Amino acid sequence: MRTLIKGAVAASLALASSLASASPLLWQDNSLTYLYGKDFEVDPPIQQAVTFEHVSGWSFGDLFLFVDSIHYNGARDAAGNNSTWYGEIAPRLSFGKISGRELKFGPITDVLLAGTYERGRGDIKNYLLGPGFDLAVPGFDYLQLNTYYRHSDSPSDVRSSWQITPVWAITLPAGRSDILIDGYIDWIVDNDGDGKHANLHFNPQVKYDLGKAMGWKAKQLYAGIEYSYWKNKYGIKDSSAFETDQNVTNLLVKVHF
């Protein structure tokens, strides 16, 4: 199973790359986000981060990727590092677009093959693959639901599990501008190895369209907060001896280009 999922994710990435060279890019968006927060668990409590994000739509599916550069304000983590990095690349292949047929039933507007490759400092390396669904729900700009078989290939922690990831965005009018609420939930529902536990990471952003309020271009400059609730962070069971349930509100500024 480990070889199968690694090969399937690699094949998805290769297919996305090959199709990209022959298919038009429908749209894309890039952004940089600065975040500052306190009271993180497991890692040093005060953190600053800069995040690059890219999202694009293609005639065969879509692509999302991000890279975090995280700094600990002079403190060090358990490995002795005063900073770290983490990134994900997540292509999805649309069966509707590839087949040229509408795959709509109920609230589902498309069925996709969703893959993700996660990579972080040290030996963090995970492969995810499974079915994805685009949903049309009133009030949402978009709503996705991806379900993955998740395989960790870190040399010190080889294990497999299942993960459910909804992703959403909602725009609310606010006077001369808008408030954008978007985010995701990563719910790892089981872990097959000793010492690891199911965990849930709820990570929404609430952002005011500052650029639109100032008479600039809409959807270009945002200011707001990012909330991070992580139950059993990294799969480490929360206890009185070692608290791992994280509850943090970050200040953020985000620029799209």
Q: What CATH number does residue 68 fall under? A: 2.40.230.20
Q: Name the token pair of 139.
A: 């009030």
Beta bridge partners of 255: 32, 221
Residue 244 has a pLDDT of: 97
Q: Could you give the CA distance from residue 102 to residue 172 in angstroms, rounded to a whole number?
A: 29
pTM of the model: 0.88
Residue 191 has a pLDDT of: 74
Q: Name the token pair of 210.
A: 């500052």
Residue 123 has a pLDDT of: 85
Contacts 24+ apart (CB under 8 A), 19-25: 19/58, 19/59, 19/60, 20/58, 23/58, 23/59, 23/60, 24/58, 24/59, 25/56, 25/57, 25/58
Into how many domains does the chain fold? 1
Task: State the distance between the two ends of the chain, measured CA to CA, in whole angstroms.
Answer: 40
pLDDT (tens place) for every residue of the chain, 257 residues total: 555 455 555 555 555 555 445 548 999 999 999 999 999 999 999 999 999 999 999 999 999 999 999 999 999 999 999 999 999 999 999 999 999 999 999 999 999 999 999 999 988 999 999 999 999 999 999 999 999 999 988 776 777 899 999 999 999 999 999 999 999 999 999 876 666 889 999 999 999 999 999 999 999 999 999 999 999 999 999 999 999 999 999 999 999 99
What's the domain range around 246? Answer: 2-256
Q: Could you give the CA distance from residue 120 to residue 127 in angstroms, rounded to a whole number?
A: 12
